[in-house]
Structure 1
């Protein structure tokens, strides 16, 4: 098919020439790369990618089209999309349309036909940076000026831009055993579904939820979701989480929720050079010694103030590193134990809901359910074989 010429310009001036993919237009955002060979539909609809231009390292994208079952939210959130070789046809019995149909319909500007290996290597060496894509001009200098004037991801408070506007409930599947208040900082649809599979009724609340709203749900535990932006710029969620910890309500957080727990404990966060994204990142659960292959999407991490084996005292108890990335030793999980040694809160930096991605870390939802049951004094444990059977998609 005939395509319109397009250009991609990084903030340091590196330029790539290719062809349009998706909507015709111009866009700017933070350039990041994703190493997943599949799961592009879940990536595109993950709210954590707000204001980011995603570069796919896999060369062929769009092979399986898109369907109505796999979106993680009601829209595509990426600011732009970069692929090397877009599929000419969608080949899957589940596909209802092509990937490019969705990109065009939702106004997502992309570029194809460029050397994504060279672009990825540039980002690995120089770090994530602002980028522009245009299929309406070939003026590199003009696009570069637009890119350099765009806001950076550092300091961006974006949770309020992607959160639900109204609370809603995801009912338990089968018998209701527990209730969770989930604060939506950019939640993916599969996350409350994983909890619902375990008999948990999930009350999803907006990012600006108050402690009173959390208590009103009758929650046995509180969950903080993934989300976009700089954790240092998000203060309301940190204050709410500190109230939750004072209430001694069991807490579980993933991705942005992990960073929120770190900041609630008084720890700092920092921007990674190019972040972790994709579905093949090795992480060790230090509580079990097990290595998991995990799905990631984050550009910030918790800064641990001492060596990883040393616990840190906080106003809420002793905090420890529970998970670590085996590629670069970045903190990938936290645990907080109160003065009696009882587990109060835990979090991980990655995505255990496996949408898309491996299922190695799905046990964390069982760990959360078990924590809530133990706190409630319920001897029943989470029946993993029953709750997770038949859920792989």
Structure 2
């Protein structure tokens, strides 16, 4: 480990110590407030092209667990931490966080004053950052000139269909950067799951004869999504129960005439307080959110707001009045024994059963 630097696109520099892969890297910087589950965050496709800054004081202290992946492929560009531990509890006793980052070619930097960095990012709305060996003028010029890819979904979504067998109802999952937690929860309900590429057409979905469709979470801006996804949602919701998560939630909103806008800072973390409007219940859920629904563009005759963020008031869930379609911005599959939102999957299955009953009458 040697001296490394975190440089920001406003010209600020933080000195630290490198670990993991030691190549230079550039990405959008995201502040993650999770106090645990760092492995799930690093392997979440939603962090494609991002440098994740963890506010927890120490990470790496439980090693890497093969059961905690959200995706086998890793998409983050780098991680920034206050203190990194070199501990492994894997069977081979060799997969510490440091070795894991080396394997996945993810750059890390530690010994950073996270409180100072977090405040600076919040106050100056910094977007891009680099982890580099030298904080000279050339490095800053390269950071300023860097253009991050807008082909993010294509980089993380499955290129080919695959099946996760079950004996229950058949559900098509449209993969925009799928978290494995969604598959785990649908499997617990014995669903027969068919995972399809993001650019599948509605006719192909119908040929599979599913009883419901899920549009998954994923990375990037919803404005960069090919119009085929929006068109699919508009057709699916008229015929089948539909659930959207994360990016899928944003696209369902857009497919129903609602605008989505970039947040000034974003929500990234776990155990985030969210209010379920119909019951006034407070739930806690994970988030990886950079965009939000523009409340001023909602037509209340067409759409119902179902969940709101208790910290910043952002809309976290919607339901379409005319169709069995609903969505949530947060991740409903739960983690770290927080299962407040798992009933969303039960609700989805119940909506499928009710829809089948109505259509068979």
Q: Which residue of 1 aligns with 2:79?
A: 81
Q: Does 1:99 align with 2:97?
A: yes
Match of 1:166 among 152, 157, 160: 160
User: Which secondary structure state, in structure 2, belongs to the residue aligned with residue 377 of structure 1?
Assistant: helix
Q: Deviations over 1:187-236 (max 9, x none)?
A: 01121120111121111000101101211221111100000010011122
Q: Deviations over 1:154-198 (max 9, x none)?
A: xx34212210011011122xxx22111100000011211201111
Q: Deviations over 1:81-140 (max 9, x none)?
A: 1111101333688976201111001111111111111111112222241001013xx243
Q: Which residue of 2 aligns with 1:363?
A: 343
CA distance in 1, matches of 2:337, 2:5: 31
User: Which secondary structure state, in structure 1, belongs to the residue aligned with residue 350 of structure 2?
Assistant: helix
Q: Does 1:326 align with 2:310?
A: yes
CA distance in 2, matches of 1:88, 1:157: 34
Q: Deviations over 1:37-93 (max 9, x none)?
A: 111111111111000000000010000000211111112210111111101333688
User: Which secondary structure state, in structure 1, belongs to the residue aligned with residue 296 of structure 2?
Assistant: coil
Q: 1:61 to 1:371 in 2, by over 3 A?
A: same
Matched-pair contact (CA < 8 Å) for 1:301–1:331? yes
Q: Which residue of 2 aligns with 1:147?
A: 143
Q: Deviations over 1:311-353 (max 9, x none)?
A: 534xxxx211111001011011110011xxxx52000000011
CA distance in 2, matches of 1:34, 1:92: 25
> TM-score if structure 2 supplies the norm length?
0.94
Q: Which residue of 2 aligns with 1:335?
A: 319
Q: Which residue of 1 aligns with 2:235?
A: 243
Deviation of 1:357 (Å): 6.8
User: Which secondary structure state, in structure 2, belongs to the residue aligned with residue 190 of structure 1?
Assistant: helix
- What's the Cα RMSD here? 1.8
- Relative to total residues, which structure has the larger helix share, 1 or 2? 2
Q: 1:26 to 1:357 in 2, by over 3 A?
A: farther
CA distance in 1, matches of 2:219, 2:71: 14
Matched-pair contact (CA < 8 Å) for 2:253–2:293? yes
Q: 1:267 to 1:288 in 2, by over 3 A?
A: same
Matched-pair contact (CA < 8 Å) for 1:279–1:358? no
Q: Which residue of 1 aligns with 2:325?
A: 345
User: Which secondary structure state, in structure 1, belongs to the residue aligned with residue 179 of structure 2?
Assistant: coil
Deviation of 1:25 (Å): 0.9
Matched-pair contact (CA < 8 Å) for 1:43–1:356? no
Matched-pair contact (CA < 8 Å) for 2:23–2:132? yes
Mind listing any 5+ residue stretches in structure 2 that lack a counterpart? Answer: none
1:56-67 maps to which residues of 2 (within 5 A)?
Answer: 56-67=54-65
> TM-score if structure 1 supplies the norm length?
0.87
Q: Which residue of 2 aligns with 1:121?
A: 119
CA distance in 2, matches of 1:278, 1:210: 33
Matched-pair contact (CA < 8 Å) for 1:31–1:129? yes
